[in-house]
Structures are given as structure tokens and as C-alpha cells.
């Protein structure tokens, strides 16, 4: 996404599609402004018939009428095409942002959210937002611009009659405005009920065996159907508020036609208007009243979309400014101060940890098995709730989107059943060559039959363990973030490949700070400094030589590997 675009602002989605918006404005404006000419030409065609003019005059007027109608319908077709395309592209943008933001949420936060609620936000609410934007934009031209066009068309015939007849139209619009709050309230209730129903459906499917084993299946079914009936009632009410109130507004708006029948009829009797003029005037007013009554629909659509937007807006955050290379524009160091972490009801895994990782540094992380290396990396990534502070320069990490600052490679590769290239790109743009070369995967890919389409298989099943690990590493390197957290990236690699990757990291990633967790103690002299996790959440920090002197745990790890 463009760095000037903020996904938590509606206007950003219009900015992203500014060319489409310009096309919509041009075609919509022309279509609306000339729509009134259809009725005018229809009245003139009627006058030609009633006045028994020549056949050539009838044919000429007919061609004019057909030409105007055709031109307007072409403009209308183009406007609707561009509007639908805008809606589809906006839905795609919102869904992709929503999904990426939700999976970037800390694990602890994700576990608090009901699955049905997340599905509703991603699918239901995002679609309602985009569709609401499309409908509002459509109604701006199909209703707003047409009302203006019809009103000035009436004024061209007679000012006094137009002003008197149109007095009822603002009354209908005022009543529609009064209903906005009520519509918003009922729509919010319906959306909440829809989310609850999705959660209940998942619960019913997931626990059917449990219900049967405890003889409560019938009770669970009754609860489900009761909730379904309640949802149906709420859905009907929202549909009524959105659609069924329109005829009521129309009736109020159409009262003005009585004025036209009286005043317009008198104009015809006096010879000021022809019968074609009278017919055209009435038809234009009927269209104006109809459009004015539907103007209320814009408010209803807007309110419904706003309710959904408020539900998803909390996930539409983009508070980190990026350079063109996708790295944060200002962060040079990650500073950890007094970091504590423990699982619920457990002992401290990390206790009062302090260190600073700067751009250009490559640090190591080691410990005996099950001392919390992976846990520490996930805490630094923001996926586990921690006590203390993690600063990016002077800004606390909790207020930022850590996934834009930190690239991560987990202990498990987490590969998708998709092409190898897409497993690296993950929908992002850019040149993969450097990441493939630095992860020592370029040669493997070159030897594959079709490098563009070769799939990794389910969970990476089509690749060896070493290929899976290097593919996951290439994905982390491709992220171009300020800091890289790599969890045991060399476990399945031979010594030559491991040393070459370490060389590549040292030579090509001066703009990133890298923290590598590994069991390969022969790599420790290559790190700028090392964190050793010890018993009871304690730790030691230093260079390889310093730790050999002051850390018994570190010396033991080194000697164990030397014996092997």
C-alpha cells in the first residue's frame, strides 16, 4: 500500500482508485445533467403528434429523442461499470488489509476473539463497507445529481409552480433524517446477533459429539433454532427500515402533484403551456419526488455501512511510516528494558532482561533445550504479553505494528500449499532474487522443472527439511524489515551452507539488526554478541570469549558440542 494511504481512513480507498473515481464523476455527472432532456424531448415529441406536423418533423424529433436516450444510457452503463469495479477493488483492498492485520494480532489477543466474530468482520462487515461505499456513490449521481437536474428543469418551465409543488419534498427528507439514529441502533443489534449466530454455528458443529454423549443434543438444537429465529426477526426489521419506508416518503413527496394539476392545468387552458409541456412537467416532477423520497435510502445505507466500518476500523491501522525499501523510516535500534515473561500460573521464563540490538549487528541466542529461546523471540515479536518495555528508538513497541519492524522465521517453516515463489512473496511485490541467493535457495529453484509454478506441497511436503528451512528464511529476508528474529534457521543445514548464509547476512544486511537462535555452538564466534538463557529466567550477555569466562552454562554448551 502507498505510504501516504491510511487504511483506517475511508478517503484512502477513494485515493487509491482516483482514476476510477474520476471516470465515475465524469460519466455520472453527464448522465445526471442530461437525464431531464429525455422528458423535455418526450413532451416535444407529443406536441408534434398532437399538432399533426409533417412526417419529416415527426421522424426528426424521434431521432433526436432516440439519440438522447441512447447517449444517456451509454453514460449510465459506463458509470455503473466503473462504480462496480471500484467496489470490487475496494473489497479486495479491505479484505487483504483486514486479514493481514488480524493474523498480525498477538496470539493472546487472537485467542480472546470468537471465530464467528472474526469471520463476520472479515467477510460480512468488509463487504457491507465496500457495498455501502458503492451504493452511496451510485445514489449521489442517481439521486443527488438527478434531483438537482430535475429541479432546475422544472424551474425552466415555471418558478412559482415549482417552488410551491416542491415544498413537500424537504418534509420527506427531514423525516428520513430523523430515522437515522433508529436505523443505526437496529443495524448494530442485527450485526451483533449475526456474529453471535456464527459463533453458535461453529460451536454446534465442533461439539456435536459432546452433546450426543451427554444427551443434550435436543436442547442444543432448540437453543440454536431459537437464536436463528431471533436473528431472522432482526434481519427482517433492518430490511424493513432500509426498504419499506421508501413508499412512505414517496407519498409525502407526491402531495405536490396537486399543485401542478391546478396551476399547470390553468397554464394549458390559458395557452401558456402546450399539452406536451404539461406532460413533461408532470413526469419530471414525479421523477423528482421519487428520487427525493429515495434520498432517505442514502442515509440508511450510510448508517448501515458506518456500523460495519466501526467494527473493522480497529484493525485498519497503519502507524509506521516506511521507506521505499519497506523499512521503517526512523528506527535504528530495538531496546529491551526490564522484560519479564511467564505463562499463566508458571515460573518466570524471562526475568528482568535488558539488551539493545542495533542495525548492522548480528546477535546470537542460545541455551539448553526448553529454556525459552522461542518464547523470547515471540515475546519480542509482540505475540506474547510481556511485562517491561521494548522500545524501537524512543517509541514503545505496544503502540506500533511490530510486524512492519520485525521479520520473523519460526522454528517450524509454516509453508502453505502454494507455489514456492508465493510462499516467499505472501502477496507482496518485489524482486525475489536477492532473498533467494542469500538464503542459498536460488540453485534449488533453478533445478526445478517450472520455477514459477512448482508448489511446496501441504506444509512443505514436496521439499526436503533443508529446503523448507531455507525457503522460510528467504521469506523472512524478503520482508525487508529493520530487525530479523530467526529461530533455529540452520537446524537442517550442513556446515558449508550455514556458513555461506552467515556470510550473506553479514555482507548484505547492514540495514537490519539480526537475532539468531541456534544450537550450533560453532557459530557463536561469528556473532557480535550473544544472549545465554540460564536457569530460573536468568541470562548472561557478552561475546563468545567473555561468556566462556563468566557463564558456566555457556561453557557446558560449547564443550558438549566439541565432544560430539
Contacts of 139 (CB under 8 A, 6+ apart): 294, 295, 297, 298, 301
- pTM > 0.75: yes or no: no
Place of cell 528464511: 473
pLDDT of residue 3: 45
Residues 165, 257 contacting (CB under 8 angstroms): yes
Q: What span, in angstroms and rounded, lies between the C-alpha atoms of 282 and 260?
A: 7
All three cell numbers of 353, joined, read 532482561
CATH 1.20.1560.10 applies to domain 10-313: yes
Strand partners, 363: 515, 529
pLDDT of residue 33: 85
Strand partners, 323: none
Helices marked H in 180-326: 180-206, 208-213, 217-239, 245-253, 257-270, 275-313
Using alpha carbons, select from 399, 396, 448, 390 the residue that is nearest to residue 419. Answer: 448
The domain spans of the chain are 10-313, 333-563
Residues in the chain: 564
pLDDT of residue 426: 76
Residues 44, 61 contacting (CB under 8 angstroms): yes
pLDDT band, very low/low/confident/very high, at 443 (cuts 50, 70, 90) = confident
The CA R_g of the chain, rounded to the nearest whole Å, is: 34
Q: 378-384 long-range CB contacts below 8 Å, 24 or more apart?
A: 378/107, 379/339, 379/341, 379/350, 380/334, 380/336, 380/406, 380/485, 380/515, 381/406, 381/408, 381/485, 382/106, 382/406, 383/106, 383/107, 383/108, 384/106, 384/107, 384/108, 384/341
Is 117 exposed, middle or buried, given 0-12, 13-18 or 19+ CB atoms closer than 10 A?
middle
pLDDT band, very low/low/confident/very high, at 180 (cuts 50, 70, 90) = low
Q: What region, left, alpha or beta, does residue 39 occupy, with left being phi > 0 and alpha being psi -120 to 50 degrees?
A: alpha
pLDDT of residue 54: 87
Residues 171, 252 contacting (CB under 8 angstroms): yes
Q: How large a percentage of the chain has pLDDT more than 70? A: 81
DSSP 72-87: HHHHHHHHHHHHHHHH
Query: What would the pLDDT profile of 203-227 be if each residue is shown by its tens digit?
Result: 778 777 767 676 777 888 888 888 8
Distances (CA, A) of 102 to 117, 118, 320, 405: 12, 8, 17, 17
Query: What would the pLDDT profile of 411-430 be if each residue is shown by its tens digit?
Result: 888 887 778 888 888 767 77
Task: Tell whether the model's pLDDT for residue 1 goes beyond 50.
Answer: no
Task: Tell whether the model's pLDDT for residue 381 goes beyond 60.
Answer: yes
Query: What would the pLDDT profile of 18-56 be if each residue is shown by its tens digit?
Result: 888 899 999 988 988 888 889 898 888 888 888 888 888
Residues 344, 495 contacting (CB under 8 angstroms): no
Q: What region, left, alpha or beta, does residue 374 occupy, with left being phi > 0 and alpha being psi -120 to 50 degrees?
A: alpha
Q: What span, in angstroms and rounded, lies between the C-alpha atoms of 375 and 371?
A: 9
- Quick one: average pLDDT of 430-443? 89
Residues 83, 132 contacting (CB under 8 angstroms): no
Place of cell 542459498: 440
Using alpha carbons, select from 205, 538, 483, 486 the residue that is nearest to residue 371. Answer: 538
More confident residue, 224 or 125: 224
Q: Rounded mean pLDDT of the chain?
A: 82
More confident residue, 89 or 470: 470
Supply φ then ψ for residue 487, to 5 degrees.
-100, 100
The architecture in CATH of the region 333-563 reads 3-Layer(aba) Sandwich (3.40)
Q: What span, in angstroms and rounded, lies between the C-alpha atoms of 375 and 557?
A: 20
The DSSP bridge pattern shows strands 387-392 and 333-341 to be antiparallel
Contacts of 57 (CB under 8 A, 6+ apart): 48
- Quick one: average pLDDT of 64-91? 89
pLDDT of residue 399: 64
- Quick one: average pLDDT of 123-150? 78
Instruction: Annotate 397-411 with b (16+ C-beta within 10 A) or e (fewer).
Output: beebbbbbbbbbbbb
Amino acid at each position: 500500500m502507498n505510504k501516504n494511504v491510511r487504511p483506517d481512513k475511508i478517503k484512502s480507498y477513494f485515493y487509491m482508485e482516483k482514476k476510477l473515481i474520476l471516470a465515475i464523476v465524469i460519466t455520472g455527472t453527464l448522465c445526471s445533467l442530461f437525464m431531464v432532456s429525455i422528458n423535455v424531448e418526450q413532451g416535444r415529441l407529443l406536441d408534434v403528434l398532437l399538432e399533426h406536423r409533417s412526417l419529416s418533423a415527426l421522424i426528426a424529433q424521434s431521432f433526436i429523442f432516440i439519440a438522447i436516450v441512447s447517449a444517456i444510457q451509454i453514460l449510465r452503463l459506463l458509470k455503473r461499470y466503473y462504480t462496480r469495479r471500484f467496489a470490487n477493488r475496494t473489497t479486495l483492498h479491505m479484505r487483504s488489509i483486514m486479514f493481514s492485520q488480524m493474523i498480525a494480532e498477538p496470539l493472546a489477543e487472537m485467542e480472546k476473539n470468537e471465530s464467528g466474530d472474526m469471520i463476520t468482520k472479515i467477510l460480512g462487515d468488509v463487504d457491507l463497507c465496500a457495498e455501502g461505499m458503492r451504493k452511496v456513490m451510485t445514489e449521489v449521481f442517481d439521486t443527488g445529481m438527478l434531483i438537482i437536474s430535475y429541479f432546475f428543469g422544472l424551474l425552466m418551465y415555471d418558478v412559482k409552480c415549482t417552488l410551491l409543488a416542491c415544498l413537500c419534498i424537504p418534509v420527506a427528507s427531514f423525516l428520513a433524517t430523523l430515522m437515522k439514529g433508529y436505523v443505526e441502533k437496529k443495524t448494530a443489534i442485527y450485526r451483533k446477533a449475526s456474529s453471535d449466530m456464527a459463533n453458535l454455528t461453529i460451536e454446534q458443529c465442533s461439539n456435536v459429539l459432546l452433546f450426543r454423549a451427554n444427551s443434550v443434543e435436543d436442547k442444543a438444537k432448540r437453543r440454536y433454532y431459537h437464536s436463528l429465529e431471533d436473528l431472522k426477526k432482526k434481519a427482517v426489521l433492518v430490511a424493513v427500515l432500509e426498504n419499506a419506508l421508501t413508499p412512505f416518503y414517496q407519498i409525502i413527496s407526491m402531495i405536490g402533484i396537486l399543485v401542478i394539476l391546478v396551476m399547470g392545468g390553468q397554464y394549458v387552458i390559458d395557452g401558456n403551456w402546450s399539452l406536451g409541456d404539461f406532460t413533461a412537467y408532470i413526469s419530471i416532477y414525479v421523477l423528482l419526488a421519487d428520487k427525493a423520497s429515495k434520498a432517505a435510502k442514502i442515509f440508511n445505507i450510510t448508517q448501515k455501512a458506518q456500523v460495519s466500518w466501526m467494527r473493522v476500523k480497529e484493525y485498519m491501522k497503519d502507524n509506521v511510516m516506511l521507506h521505499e525499501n519497506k523499512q521503517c523510516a526512523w528506527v535504528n535500534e530495538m531496546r529491551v528494558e526490564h522484560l519479564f515473561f511467564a505463562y499463566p500460573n508458571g515460573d518466570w521464563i524471562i526475568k528482568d532482561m535488558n539488551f539493545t540490538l542495533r542495525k548492522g549487528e548480528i546477535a546470537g541466542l542460545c541455551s539448553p533445550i526448553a529454556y525459552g529461546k522461542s518464547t523470547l523471540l515471540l515475546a519480542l515479536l509482540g505475540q506474547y504479553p510481556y511485562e517491561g518495555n521494548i522500545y524501537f528508538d524512543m517509541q514503545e513497541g505496544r503502540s506500533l505494528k511490530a510486524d512492519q519492524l520485525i521479520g520473523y522465521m519460526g522454528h517450524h517453516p509454516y509453508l502453505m500449499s502454494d507455489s514456492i515463489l508465493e510462499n516467499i512473496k505472501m502477496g507482496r511485490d518485489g524482486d525475489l532474487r536477492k532473498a533467494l541467493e542469500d538464503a542459498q535457495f536460488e540453485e534449488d529453484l533453478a533445478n526445478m522443472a517450472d520455477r514459477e509454478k512448482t508448489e511446496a506441497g501441504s506444509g512443505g511436503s514436496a521439499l526436503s527439511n533443508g529446503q523448507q528451512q531455507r525457503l522460510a528464511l528467504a521469506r523472512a529476508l524478503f520482508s525487508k524489515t529493520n530487525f530479523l528474529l530467526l529461530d533455529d534457521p540452520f537446524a537442517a543445514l550442513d556446515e558449508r551452507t550455514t556458513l555461506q548464509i552467515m556470510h550473506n547476512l553479514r555482507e548484505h544486511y547492514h540495514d537490519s539488526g539480526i537475532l539468531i537462535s541456534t544450537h550450533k555452538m560453532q557459530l557463536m564466534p561469528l556473532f557480535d554478541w550473544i544472549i545465554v538463557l540460564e536457569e530460573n529466567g536468568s541470562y548472561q550477555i557478552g561475546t563468545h570469549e567473555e561468556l566462556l569466562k563468566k557463564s558456566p552454562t555457556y561453557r557446558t554448551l560449547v564443550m558438549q558440542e566439541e565432544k560430539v
